[in-house]
Amino acid sequence: MTDSPVSRFPVPELHDLPDDIRTRILEVQEKSGFVPNVFLALAHRPAEFRAFFAYHDAIMDKSGNLTKAEREMIVVATSAPNQCQYCVVAHGAILRIRAKDPLIADQIATNYRKADITDRQKAMLDFALKVSREAYAVNDDDFAALERHGFDEEDVWDIAAISAFFGLSNRMANVTSMRPNPEFYGMGR
Amino acid sequence: MTDSPVSRFPVPELHDLPDDIRTRILEVQEKSGFVPNVFLALAHRPAEFRAFFAYHDAIMDKSGNLTKAEREMIVVATSAPNQCQYCVVAHGAILRIRAKDPLIADQIATNYRKADITDRQKAMLDFALKVSREAYAVNDDDFAALERHGFDEEDVWDIAAISAFFGLSNRMANVTSMRPNPEFYGMGR
Amino acid sequence: MTDSPVSRFPVPELHDLPDDIRTRILEVQEKSGFVPNVFLALAHRPAEFRAFFAYHDAIMDKSGNLTKAEREMIVVATSAPNQCQYCVVAHGAILRIRAKDPLIADQIATNYRKADITDRQKAMLDFALKVSREAYAVNDDDFAALERHGFDEEDVWDIAAISAFFGLSNRMANVTSMRPNPEFYGMGR
Amino acid sequence: MTDSPVSRFPVPELHDLPDDIRTRILEVQEKSGFVPNVFLALAHRPAEFRAFFAYHDAIMDKSGNLTKAEREMIVVATSAPNQCQYCVVAHGAILRIRAKDPLIADQIATNYRKADITDRQKAMLDFALKVSREAYAVNDDDFAALERHGFDEEDVWDIAAISAFFGLSNRMANVTSMRPNPEFYGMGR
Amino acid sequence: MTDSPVSRFPVPELHDLPDDIRTRILEVQEKSGFVPNVFLALAHRPAEFRAFFAYHDAIMDKSGNLTKAEREMIVVATSAPNQCQYCVVAHGAILRIRAKDPLIADQIATNYRKADITDRQKAMLDFALKVSREAYAVNDDDFAALERHGFDEEDVWDIAAISAFFGLSNRMANVTSMRPNPEFYGMGR
Amino acid sequence: MTDSPVSRFPVPELHDLPDDIRTRILEVQEKSGFVPNVFLALAHRPAEFRAFFAYHDAIMDKSGNLTKAEREMIVVATSAPNQCQYCVVAHGAILRIRAKDPLIADQIATNYRKADITDRQKAMLDFALKVSREAYAVNDDDFAALERHGFDEEDVWDIAAISAFFGLSNRMANVTSMRPNPEFYGMGR
């Protein structure tokens, strides 16, 4: 499908894929103008592909108090210390677009404490990082701190789920050496 | 559904659940004699429930060179440093049963390097822990070390996926304060 | 004395041991029905054996505000992150018996913050872990926090001494590859 | 000099600065089209400004086996884990320009092990990171490893000095909340 | 016994102490010219005092391949990262005297890798630090590395026991705020 | 210039040095009675030598609320965890002299929290260590905490700059294996 390396594992040809996966890939290609490599890399394992994107859609496309840009902030802020090139670059692009802010992704990836975001968003990212680094220590105080910023219990689940899910994604991307498409680097700047 | 606490989030009644989720829960209840709390706790979010168990089944029930007991070893060895009570206790029970060994789960949870397992299994767990702790540093040497123990590239993906998926599970269990059912503690001893 | 491995160091025969050490071992055997391996492993060094058990008895059998079960909680909670198989398994058994609770040892070994224990006991374990991990930072605030839970200064010494002594024990058990007796795994469940 | 925040410390007006500092600032403005904020933020302390840029020039503009792009790689790779927004963004821009590669800075900032650079450059960055994180453990083996990639002893000093100097810079930028100029984010893309 | 603070816990008067403890203290006073504070601080708990010094003597005064100076090197090298003021200062003094070297204690306390000691001694300290920091990972390779430097299995036990015992001592000294006597600072310089 | 090792890099002869550097070295020799090795080791790179000492003088010899002894406390407290033998030994000597206290340097190098210094000085060192270890997390709360102890904003810059500059110095000293002169060990005791 492409000459450039996408993953250290085999990448299937589109015509060899199950219909539902091929359809999803063609849809994202039509919408984005290219196929993000995560779709190709994970298509090597169709059952995992389906579960992965079902999980992704369940937490990233759902309604709730978190905006779409805020969900992407969580992805970028937690993926950076996990040193996941794919997620930082690809979701950094999506964050710039969702937030309509060309600077925000690099700020959050480097040090979200110094980013041009609200105190509420910093509290959200503090918690997302705690889930990523030491979820075993999450306690009532964390829920109370988020509540003071207007996050209800369902929002807390959302933040935790996004942090936890992209922790999985970061690990698979690093093990498979999944490469971000060159298109992502400049999007939204 | 139960008086004892299962999760700090609301736990739905069985009759309020979508059919597919209720069916899955009733099946596991019939097979195990009780409903493991992870099914109840995650049923609070049906879309995430479906994706979670689809992912679980894709990596835990698939064929390959890893035995079912070895897959559970990975769960227990990575969940212990993440301090996930639910996964260590519940999957410790499953590991004892799969391995037909009453001592193995406590050994692996405490220090897999001293457990009564093979060198090949220790190499598998070394890698699973590396994925869990510092996936960003995984490189060709790790693949080569596993190959020397007879693991092929697909096995490496399996080990990584189990480590990464239960990293997600560990984080959600800790944030929701998911409790292991009392039945698990003594199973297989 | 036994065919199964007890330690990577030589283990003396009972009849070769000094009288006082043989007597202590026979007493514990009579009481427990078996000889816990720590007695055999440390008997390789009689002078250290005597000092070790004198220290153990001085802090574990003394009177004070800490119950015997609470003393064992400290052992289990601090030995788990030190990954000491012998202490987690053997003292986990003793904890189950002392607390008359079949679940408590696995809960505390995995994540004491989520265990079915009192807030006072969690504060006790917070401090025990701080002594184990960063005793250099212990200060007046720690004493005050424990006092608010009813611990006096002598109790603080007890908690610290148990944490510190089993830190020694954890290290010797790991270096000698001391194995827990199979009997411990199922006791008190 | 500007309405947007540059630093949490006072930023002097150009006309209040000593001649040599004003001259340097005007020169860089003429060359770059804007004044990088580091010049303004550090001008608050003229003696430190002079020493800082003298050090900078001594290690970044000197001749040697390291190319100018490679020197910037060291800055970006070490500044990212130090979470220094100014250095990652500003020197990321310079790296893109020096290397004539629009993707390289984001790759190195996120995970240099996965960047499109040579093995020699990865060895250089391994060492730069070791100097940044645990210089106390640098030993003969590190010198030998670099020599195998063609680095001589003077190159080792250069790598170490750049890593150490930007460690200073990272700390001052974080304490002063030094902000990267918006111009840097898109340069060289 | 003294007006200056020795410990944050009560320090008994000599005449109130059990005979054996008073005798030991008077002996050390006669030999040293002063009473090292560790004797006074631990005398608050006679049973622990006896066990502590019995352990100390068993590992520090025994015969074997480790010289007395080397035993003190282990104490200083492991107590420094544990930030134990009493042990670094008091055993630093003893090390200077035992090694007849006024510089060695400060070198080892700061960075033993750069100290004027033999490669064999550096290997000994590498292992002592591993026991102190991550005893759970000690394995056959560590024994083999020490054997290459001429250490037999009993020496390995000695190194481990000294590291483990002073880990206990470091923790108790920090919790009790045990102060080194002023006499120690200048001894042997 | 000397037979004893000063650095693993070449050390120039005094007569080969540029005039300004030779003059500075002769001045310090006249004042101290010997040439501290840092002057010789860094003279290998004249441009870096000049920048290094200009920076040093700018932050160590300037006026302000920090006393000269307090500036040296920062050097010793931050250099100890960086395991920099040169800085701990040489600046420990200067600290003893500046503070007219023979015990203070060893106390601060080992555990400044237990040193005989004021609460204000402990707050100063808490911040200096935070800059050294996690400057990315410095925030308004740190400035407020220092203000409560009477430090103004310029003092905060001073503390940060000293911590950051000696972080550079620690790294270069460790990479070059810079040795402290024997004279320093006993000075001021």
CA-CA distance, B43 to B63, in Å (whole number)? 27
**Residue F111 in contact with partner chain C when CB distance is under 8 A:** yes
Is position C2 within any domain? no
In the block, tokens 């505390």 appear at C108
Q: Are residues E25 and E87 in the same domain?
A: no
Q: Percent of chain E beyond pLDDT 90?
A: 97
In the block, tokens 């453990």 appear at D137
Q: Are residues A32 and A78 in the same domain?
A: no
**Contact residues, chain F, for D170 at CB < 8 Å:** 135
**What CATH number is given to the structural domain containing F135?**
1.20.1290.10
In the block, tokens 């598998």 appear at B124
Burial of F32-44, coded b for 16+ CB within 10 Å and e otherwise, reads eeebbbbbbbbbb
Is position A105 within any domain? yes
pLDDT digits (tens, 9 = 90+) for A68-106: 999 999 999 999 999 999 999 999 999 999 999 999 999
Q: Are residues A49 and A32 in the same domain?
A: yes
Q: Is the pLDDT of residue C105 over 80?
A: yes
pLDDT digits (tens, 9 = 90+) for E128-160: 999 999 999 999 999 999 999 999 999 999 999
**Distances in whole angstroms, Cα of residue C159 to Cα of each of B172, C66, C68, E79, E109:** 32, 8, 12, 21, 28
Question: How close is the nearest chain C Cα to the Cα of E137, in Å?
Answer: 8
Question: What is the number of residues in chain B?
Answer: 189
Q: Are residues A122 and A173 in the same domain?
A: yes
The region, left, alpha or beta by phi > 0 then psi within -120 to 50, assigned to residue E179 is beta
**Contact residues, chain A, for F137 at CB < 8 Å:** 113
The answer to whether the beta carbons of residues E103 and F185 sit under 8 Å apart is: yes
Q: Are residues B107 and B165 in the same domain?
A: yes
**Residue F134 in contact with partner chain A when CB distance is under 8 A:** no
**Contact residues, chain F, for C139 at CB < 8 Å:** 113
pLDDT digits (tens, 9 = 90+) for D125-176: 999 999 999 999 999 999 999 999 999 999 999 999 999 999 999 999 999 9
B3: tokens are 């008086």
Q: Do D50 and F54 touch (CB under 8 A)?
A: yes
Look at the alpha carbons of B64, B66, B71, B72 in this order and tell me if their dihedral is positive or negative.
Answer: positive
Q: Are residues B99 and B55 in the same domain?
A: no
Nearest neighbour of B168 by CB, restricted to A48, A153, A168: A168
CA-CA distance, A127 to A136, in Å (whole number)? 12
CA-CA distance, C166 to B66, in Å (whole number)? 37
**Contact residues, chain F, for D58 at CB < 8 Å:** 45, 47-48, 50-51
The region, left, alpha or beta by phi > 0 then psi within -120 to 50, assigned to residue A188 is left
CA-CA distance, A188 to C129, in Å (whole number)? 47
Burial of E78-117, coded b for 16+ CB within 10 Å and e otherwise, reads bbbbbbbbbbbbbbbbbbbbbbebebbbbbbbbbbbbbeb
**Contact residues, chain E, for D139 at CB < 8 Å:** 113
Q: Are residues E112 and E159 in the same domain?
A: yes
CA-CA distance, F58 to F55, in Å (whole number)? 5
F136: tokens are 């990315």
Q: Are residues D79 and D99 in the same domain?
A: yes
What letter does residue E156 receive in the DSSP assignment?
H
**Residue D134 in contact with partner chain E when CB distance is under 8 A:** no
Q: Are residues B88 and B48 in the same domain?
A: no
Q: What is the DSSP string of A114-151?
A: GSS--HHHHHHHHHHHHHHHHGGG--HHHHHHHHHTT-
Residue D28's nearest CA partner among D94, D98, D125 is D94
Burial of E13 (0-12, 13-18, 19+ CB in 10 A): exposed
**In chain B, helix, strand, coil percent, each to 5?**
70, 0, 30
pLDDT digits (tens, 9 = 90+) for C7-32: 999 999 999 999 999 999 999 999 99
E20: tokens are 């054996």
What contacts C43, CB < 8 A, 6 or more positions away? C11, C12, C17, C21, C25, C49
**Residue B171 in contact with partner chain A when CB distance is under 8 A:** yes
Closest residue in E to B115 (Cα) is E136
**Distances in whole angstroms, Cα of residue A60 to Cα of each of A82, A165, B41, F11:** 20, 10, 20, 60
Residue C54's nearest CA partner among C170, C183, C178, C161 is C161
Q: Are residues D175 and D117 in the same domain?
A: yes
Is position F29 within any domain? yes
pLDDT band at B2 (very low <50, low <70, confident <90, very high): very low
Question: How close is the nearest chain C Cα to the Cα of F12, in Å?
Answer: 43
Q: Do F185 and E106 touch (CB under 8 A)?
A: yes
The answer to whether the beta carbons of residues D27 and D16 sit under 8 Å apart is: no
Q: Is the pLDDT of residue B3 over 70?
A: no
pLDDT at A84: 98
Is position B9 within any domain? no
In the block, tokens 């003092």 appear at F155
**Contact residues, chain A, for C111 at CB < 8 Å:** 136
CA-CA distance, B169 to B48, in Å (whole number)? 12
- Residue F93 one-letter amino acid: A
Q: Percent of chain C beyond pLDDT 70?
A: 98
pLDDT digits (tens, 9 = 90+) for C122-165: 999 999 999 999 999 999 999 999 999 999 999 999 999 999 99
**What CATH number is given to the structural domain containing E48?**
1.20.5.810
pLDDT digits (tens, 9 = 90+) for E1-60: 344 689 999 999 999 999 999 999 999 999 999 999 999 999 999 999 999 999 999 999
Look at the alpha carbons of B63, B69, B75, B78 in this order and tell me if their dihedral is positive or negative.
Answer: negative
CA-CA distance, C49 to C18, in Å (whole number)? 11
H runs (alpha helix) in C7-149: 19-32, 37-42, 46-60, 68-79, 85-99, 104-111, 119-134, 140-148
Nearest neighbour of F175 by CB, restricted to D55, D135, D165: D135
Is position E138 within any domain? yes
Q: Are residues C106 and C20 in the same domain?
A: no
CA-CA distance, A172 to A49, in Å (whole number)? 12
pLDDT digits (tens, 9 = 90+) for D9-61: 999 999 999 999 999 999 999 999 999 999 999 999 999 999 999 999 999 99
Furthest C-alpha separation in chain C: 52
Residue E163's nearest CA partner among E102, E101, E76 is E76
In the block, tokens 């153990």 appear at C56
| Chains D, F: CB pairs < 8 Å | 108
pLDDT band at A21 (very low <50, low <70, confident <90, very high): very high
Domain end residue (candidates: E60, E80, E96): E60
Closest residue in F to D49 (Cα) is F55
pLDDT digits (tens, 9 = 90+) for B154-179: 999 999 999 999 999 999 999 999 99
Round the average pLDDT of chain D to a whole number and report it. 96
Question: How close is the nearest chain F Cα to the Cα of E12, in Å?
Answer: 22
Total number of domains constituting chain E: 2
CA-CA distance, D187 to E20, in Å (whole number)? 78
Burial of E133-169, coded b for 16+ CB within 10 Å and e otherwise, reads eebbebeeebbeebeeeebeeebbbbbbbbbbbbbbb
pLDDT at A1: 38
Nearest neighbour of B189 by CB, restricted to C89, C177, C185: C185
pLDDT digits (tens, 9 = 90+) for B115-131: 999 999 999 999 999 99
Residue A150: CB atoms within 10 Å: 10
Residue E132's nearest CA partner among E83, E96, E174, E97 is E83
Q: Do C110 and B106 touch (CB under 8 A)?
A: no
In angstroms, the first-to-last Cα distance of chain D is 28
Q: Are residues A107 and A161 in the same domain?
A: yes
**Residue E141 in contact with partner chain B when CB distance is under 8 A:** no
**Residue A134 in contact with partner chain C when CB distance is under 8 A:** no
Is position E1 within any domain? no
**C and E: touch, per 3+ CB pairs < 8 A?**
yes
**Structure pTM?**
0.97
D84: tokens are 């220094």
Is position C84 within any domain? yes
CA-CA distance, F64 to F81, in Å (whole number)? 26
Cα pseudo-dihedral F120, F123, F128, F129, rounded to 10: 140
Q: What phi, psi does F117 have (nearest 5°)?
A: -130, 170
pLDDT digits (tens, 9 = 90+) for F6-21: 999 999 999 999 999 9
Closest residue in B to E139 (Cα) is B113
The answer to whether the beta carbons of residues B146 and B124 sit under 8 Å apart is: yes
**Contact residues, chain D, for E111 at CB < 8 Å:** 136
CA-CA distance, E151 to C35, in Å (whole number)? 31
- Domain ranges, residue C167: 68-186
E24: tokens are 């030991």
**B and F: touch, per 3+ CB pairs < 8 A?**
no
- Residue D57 one-letter amino acid: D
Q: What phi, psi does C138 have (nearest 5°)?
A: -60, 135
pLDDT at A2: 41
Question: How close is the nearest chain C Cα to the Cα of A136, in Å?
Answer: 7
Is position F30 within any domain? yes
CA-CA distance, A113 to A175, in Å (whole number)? 29
Q: What phi, psi does C187 have (nearest 5°)?
A: -60, 135
- Residue F156 one-letter amino acid: V
Question: What is the number of residues in chain F?
Answer: 189
Residue F25's nearest CA partner among F16, F33, F35 is F35
Residue F152's nearest CA partner among F120, F109, F116, F106 is F120
